[in-house]
Amino acid sequence: MSVIDPVLRPQPRPGVLAIEAYVPGKSAAPGVAKIHKLSSNETPLGPSPRAIEAVRAEAATLALYPDGSATRLRAAIGARYGLDPARIVCGAGSDELLTLLALAFVGPGDEGIFCEHGFLVYRIAILTAGGTPVVAPETNLTANVDAILAAVTLRTRIVYLANPNNPTGTYLPFEEVRRLQAGLPGNVVLVLDGAYAEYVRANDYTAGLELALDAPNVVMTRTFSKIHGLAAQRIGWMVGSEVVVDAVNRIRGPFNLSAGGIAAGAAAIADEAHVAAAIAHNDEWLAWLTRAVEALGLTVTPSVGNFLLVHFSDAPGRTAAEADAHLTRAGVIVRRVSSYGLPNALRVSVGSAEANRAFVDALADFLGPQRS
């Protein structure tokens, strides 16, 4: 008889089987000719023309490996924000960096904290690393520093805070972030996910970047997927202390960014006029959408991002699920957020003028003549 048991099968670690894979926003409405995709917080302005040109130029050298250190991109980011490029690591989207941070600092038996309605990638990252996810309750759909600090134990190794948060759009002012950092043990890595930083008007991000440079346990992650309009290229970056940067550089893939991503990111971050246009568009249409949805009798969580969270009634015929189905039939694709603990809300990205109007028209049509 063979010493090899014939019924043995590969067995993923228990943490792996606890992961519910991330489900991206829908991108199709079957049978509808014209669709407006407002489900993934992409920018209606698209990328900088300079970024498109930079990707095209890379087509000539596709056979060559890219620069594994993304030197050009780190230099461009450093120049834009006054940061030492040695303290920057780039990733295949900030999602990759969020996962690498967990892999570098969290192990079996360790805990990682994130907020009640926080971005789902955090839970997946902590479980991927073999750690235990710990959820801190929120107040009024907003992160609560005292609740996060109360969740800290001797086993805590990482805290993720999206600021502003997706899908709520709510925001903690810098004094609160500072209070959180001051209250955490020095061995706990505080990850400030600034995916929507550029859209925030009360801009505390200079202070956030400085904190990430000064405090050994603070990291800020940023992305080119949102305001820079380069989601398809998968480009993110983080800034942090030498210890954190060194750890992530040891475990990341040696060529984790494509040549096109490096070139596009470097071009995009230098095009400040394009970013300013995207901010101006968002300011105008976020306010317009908020007023229009409230005028229909629905509640909107005040947002500082490029999306808004709309709350629906529990009454049959009026729920978020039914609204989503109606909007989809009208070609307006929004995001259900049940997996974020918000079963009766929808998240809507700020789109083009045409898409925003199509959304409000379809929503008015759904609510009918006798709205609340």
Q: List residues binding ligand PLP (CB under 6 A).
A: 41, 93-95, 119, 162, 166, 193, 195, 223, 225-226, 231, 236
Quick one: 225 or 258, whose CB is closer to ligand PLP?
225
CB of 321 to ligand PLP, least distance (A): 22
CB of 44 to ligand PLP, least distance (A): 15
CB of 189 to ligand PLP, least distance (A): 16
Q: Are strands 218-223 and 236-239 parallel, antiparallel or unpaired?
A: antiparallel
Quick one: 131 or 261, whose CB is closer to ligand PLP?
261
CB of 212 to ligand PLP, least distance (A): 16
Quick one: 224 or 366, whose CB is closer to ligand PLP?
224
CB of 1 to ligand PLP, least distance (A): 50
Distance separating alpha carbons of residues 145 and 219, to the nearest angstrom = 17
Task: Give the residue at shortest CB distance from ligand PLP.
Answer: 93
Quick one: 337 or 362, whose CB is closer to ligand PLP?
337
Distance separating alpha carbons of residues 312 and 50, to the nearest angstrom = 41
Quick one: 264 or 362, whose CB is closer to ligand PLP?
264
| Amino acid in the structure at residue 207 | A
CB of 225 to ligand PLP, least distance (A): 3
CB of 196 to ligand PLP, least distance (A): 7
Quick one: 119 or 312, whose CB is closer to ligand PLP?
119
Quick one: 119 or 174, whose CB is closer to ligand PLP?
119
Quick one: 178 or 226, whose CB is closer to ligand PLP?
226
CB of 226 to ligand PLP, least distance (A): 6
CB of 302 to ligand PLP, least distance (A): 17
Quick one: 172 or 330, whose CB is closer to ligand PLP?
172
Distance separating alpha carbons of residues 245 and 284, to the nearest angstrom = 38
Q: State the SS3 of the chain.
A: CCCCCCCCCCCCCHHHHCCCCCCCCCCCCCCCCCCEECCCCCCCCCCCHHHHHHHHHHHHHCCCCCCCCCHHHHHHHHHHHCCCHHHEEEECHHHHHHHHHHHHHCCCCCEEEEECCCCCHHHHHHHHCCCEEEEECCECCECCHHHHHHCCCCCEEEEEEECCCCCCCCCCCHHHHHHHHHHCCCCCEEEEECCCHHHCCCCCHHHHHHHHHHCCCEEEEEECCCCCCCHHHCCEEEECCHHHHHHHHHHCCCCCCCHHHHHHHHHHHHCHHHHHHHHHHHHHHHHHHHHHHHHCCCEEECCCCCEEEEECCCCCCCCHHHHHHHHHHCCEECEEEHHHCEEEEEEEECCCHHHHHHHHHHHHHHHCCCCC
